[in-house]
Amino acid sequence: MSEIEIYPVPKDLAAKAHMDAAGYEAARKAARETPDAYWSNAAKRLDWMTFPTKIKDVSFNKADFRIKWFEDGVLNVSANCIDRHLPARKDEVAIIWEGDEPTDSEHVTYGQLHDRVSRLSNVLKSSGVKKGDRVTIYMPMIPEAAYAMLACARIGAVHSVIFGGFSPDSIAGRIEDCQSTFVITANEGCRGGKRVPLKANVDKALEKVSVEKVLVLRHTDTATPMAEGRDIDWQTAVDAASPDCPPEPMGAEDPLFILYTSGSTGKPKGVLHTTGGYLLWASWTHEHVFDYRAGEVFWCTADVGWVTGHSYAVYGPLANAATTLFFEGIPNYPTVSRFWDVVDKHKVNIFYTAPTAIRALMKDGDDPVKSSSRASLRLLGTVGEPINPEAWRWYHEVVGNGKLPIVDTWWQTETGGILISPLPGATDLKPGSATKPLPGIELEIVDADGQVLEGVTEGNLCITDSWPGQMRTVYGDDARFFETYFSTYKGKYFTGDGCRRDEDGYYWITGRVDDVINVSGHRMGTAEVESALVLHHDVAEAAVVGFPHDIKGQGIYAYVTLNADVMPSEELRRALIAQVRNEIGPIAAPDVIQWAPALPKTRSGKIMRRILRKIAENEIGALGDTSTLADPSVVDDLVKNRAAAK
C-alpha cells in the first residue's frame, strides 16, 4: 500500500488539540488497563443527579451476558443538553435551522430551546405520556424534531424516530413493534422544492395500527385534516402549556431511544440505547473526534431519522453546548453550491457528511464549490460508508483547499457513536482509511472460523470489549440481540463488516460481509426488499444483492422469478418498483431488475448469493465453483440475460 499518501497532523493543530499523539496512546492504555477509573473520570463531563459508583459491568459470554455502564448513576439527558448550559450560554445559539429555500432560516438560543422543550414536555405529560412510554417521531429536519426528542428525554419517554423517507407500512410496523402510543409529526416537510406528505403517511399507517394521540406541527401552510379526538395541534397545545417542567431523574441504564435498523434477516430491529453511556459516548466523541471548541458551529448533514442525526446533530453537540445546524433541504437545491453557500451564510466551522454526497457533488466539478469562500471551515468529516480515495482527495483539495483535516469516522447504529476515526491532533491521515480505534475500543480481525488474525491482514471485524455507547438490546428481543451480534464469534461483538489492517495498524473497512447493503450510506436488508417484491401476486421468488454504484456506493440489484403464466413487461417492472416504494420507502427502490427464469440454488435449496453478486457486478469470469448447484445451467441463463436487465 506504499502508493497511498500520508497526510501528517498539522503541527499547530497537534499543539492545541484536545488530544495529541502521546495523549491518544496514554488514553488507549488507560482505557484498556483501568477502564473503571478512565470512564469514571470521563463521566465527569456530564451533569449527574447522582454520580455513579459502579462503572463497568459487562460480559459478552452467553452464561452471564450483560452490558451495563454507570448503573447506579442518575441523570437526565435533556438537562445535560439544555439546562446546565443556561447560566453561561442562555443567549447563545443552540440550533441554526436552514430551510429548503435559501430565504428560510431561524436561530434558536439555549434559552429558547429550554422554553420550547419544557412546554412540549408538559404537552406530552398532559396528553398521558408517561415515563417509559414509546413515542414515535416522524418529522422533517427542523428544530421541532429536536424539541420532540429532548421533550421525550426530559420526561423519561423513549423516542423512536422514523426517517421521513419511510412509507406508511414501515411506520405501522415500527409503531406496532414497540407498541408506541403517541406520534409526533408535521403536516409536511420540504425537500428540493417538493413537499413530503408526512401527516398523510401517518394517517395511512394508522389505518393499520392505532395510537392514542397524534401531535401535529403545521410546518407549511397547506391545510391538514385533523382526526377529531386523536390529533392535537402543536402550536395551540404548546402556547397553553407551562414553560416549567423539571427534568425527570433517570437511571443511567434507563432506555433513551429505540432506532430501527436493517439487518441481514427479518424485519428491521429496534436498536435500544440507554441514558448515561450513550450520552457520554456522543458527547466525548463529538468533542474529541471533531476537536470541537466552545462557540463553534457544527454541521452534520444527516437527518435525525438516522443514528448520525441522533448522535451528531442533536445529542453530542447539544451536550457540549455547541451550535448545531439543521438543514431541511438537499445538496443540489436550488443549485449544486447549496452546501457551500450554507457554510458561508452560517459560518460553519466543522462539516460532517456522507461520501455519497461528496461523490454526487464532485461530478459537477470544482466551480460550484469555488464560488464560495468556506473561510470559516476548520475540519471536515465523513460517515456512513467507505470513502474512495478519489472522493477523499477531492473533498480535501477542493472543499478543504488542501488544508483541512478529514476525519473518516466508522461506526454503526448499534455502536451509538464513532468507534474508529482519526483524532485531528493525533492521527496522520490516509485517504480511504478510518485509521485507528478510539480509546476503549478493542478490535480484532478474525477469519470465517473465528481464528484471530494478527498483523497485516484482512477478515471480519469484531470488538472484544464493551464501550459506554454500545446498544443494550434489540427492543423486546434479548435473544435476537445475543444471536445477531455475539453468537457468530464467541465472546465477541461481530460488526458485520469486512476489514483490512495495514502495516501501520490502520483499519480499512471494506464493506458489509452479511446480507446488508449500504445504499447512499443507508442500510438496507436484502431480505426486506425481497419480502416486499414477493408480495406482488405475479412474483414467485426474488433475490436481492448489492452492486457497485458510482454515486450511491452500492445500488440494489433484484433478480425476480415470475409465476409460470406471467410474461415480463416494462409495466410489471414499474409496478414492482412501486411495490417496494410502498412497502418500505423510496430509498429501497431497486436500481436494476433482472428477470430470472430460475435462481441458482444448492441441492438443499439455498440461493447462492455469491454467484448473483458476481453477475450483478459483471464479474462473469469470476463466478467460482458452480458445481454444487442443483442446476448449473441456471447460471448460463442469468449471464446471457444480464444485458437486458435494467
Has 311 been labeled as part of a binding site?
Answer: no
Torsion angle of C-alpha atoms 66, 69, 75, 79, degrees rounded to 10: -110
Question: Do residues 532 and 577 touch, judged by C-beta distance below 8 A?
Answer: no
Per-residue x/- marks for ligand WTA, 345-384, CB under 6 A?
Answer: --------------------------------------xx
Query: Using CB under 6 A, which of the segments 89-97, 300-308, 317-325, 527-535 binds ligand WTA?
Result: 300-308
Residue 177 binding ligand WTA, by CB under 6 A: no
Residue 403, CA distances (Å) to 7, 246, 290, 377 in order: 10, 46, 15, 10
For the chain, the maximum distance between any two Cα atoms, rounded to a whole number of angstroms, is 74
Residue 497 binding ligand WTA, by CB under 6 A: yes
Q: State the DSSP H helix or E strand holding residue 189, giving kind and residue range, or none if neither.
A: strand 189-191
Residue 308 binding ligand WTA, by CB under 6 A: yes
CB of 521 to ligand WTA, least distance (A): 7
How far apart are alpha carbons 550 and 568 in whole angstroms? 28
Residue 518 binding ligand WTA, by CB under 6 A: yes
Instruction: Name the residue nearer to ligand WTA (CB basis): 312 or 339.
Output: 312
Residue 484 binding ligand WTA, by CB under 6 A: no
Candidate residues 339, 410, 467, 547; the one interacting with ligand WTA per rule CB under 6 A: 410
Instruction: Name the residue nearer to ligand WTA (CB basis): 389 or 511.
Output: 511
Number of residues this chain uses to bind ligand WTA (CB under 6 A): 23
Q: State the DSSP H helix or E strand holding residue 548, giving kind and residue range, or none if neither.
A: strand 539-549
Residue 264 binding ligand WTA, by CB under 6 A: no
Has 409 been labeled as part of a binding site?
Answer: yes
Residue with cell 401535529: 216
Q: Rule CB under 6 A: which of 390-409 touch ligand WTA? A: 408-409
Residue 514 binding ligand WTA, by CB under 6 A: no
How far apart are alpha carbons 297 and 311 in whole angstroms? 16
What's the angle, vertex CA 182, arms to CA 179 and CA 118, rounded to 5? 130
Residue 85 binding ligand WTA, by CB under 6 A: no
Residue 523 binding ligand WTA, by CB under 6 A: yes
CB of 414 to ligand WTA, least distance (A): 7
Has 111 been labeled as part of a binding site?
Answer: no
Has 384 been labeled as part of a binding site?
Answer: yes
Query: Using CB under 6 A, which of the segments 91-99, 301-309, 395-403, 537-545 binds ligand WTA?
Result: 301-309
Peptide bond into 334 cis (omega under 30): yes
The SS3 call for residue 550 is coil
Helices (H), 385-491: 389-394, 478-486
Has 560 been labeled as part of a binding site?
Answer: no
How far apart are alpha carbons 570 and 442 in whole angstroms? 51
Has 353 been labeled as part of a binding site?
Answer: no
Q: What contacts 142, CB < 8 A, 6 or more positions away?
A: 97, 186, 189, 219, 326, 328
Has 189 been labeled as part of a binding site?
Answer: no
Question: Do residues 314 and 340 touch, judged by C-beta distance below 8 A?
Answer: no
Instruction: Name the residue nearer to ligand WTA (CB basis): 252 or 529.
Output: 529
Instruction: Name the residue nearer to ligand WTA (CB basis): 180 or 308.
Output: 308
How far apart are alpha carbons 453 and 307 in whole angstroms? 30
What's the angle, vertex CA 306, arms to CA 81 and CA 554, rounded to 5? 150
Residue 76 binding ligand WTA, by CB under 6 A: no
Binding residues for CoA: 191-194, 308, 332, 520, 581
- Footprint on this chain of ligand WTA (rule: CB under 6 A): 261, 306-308, 383-386, 408-413, 434, 495-497, 509, 511-512, 518, 523
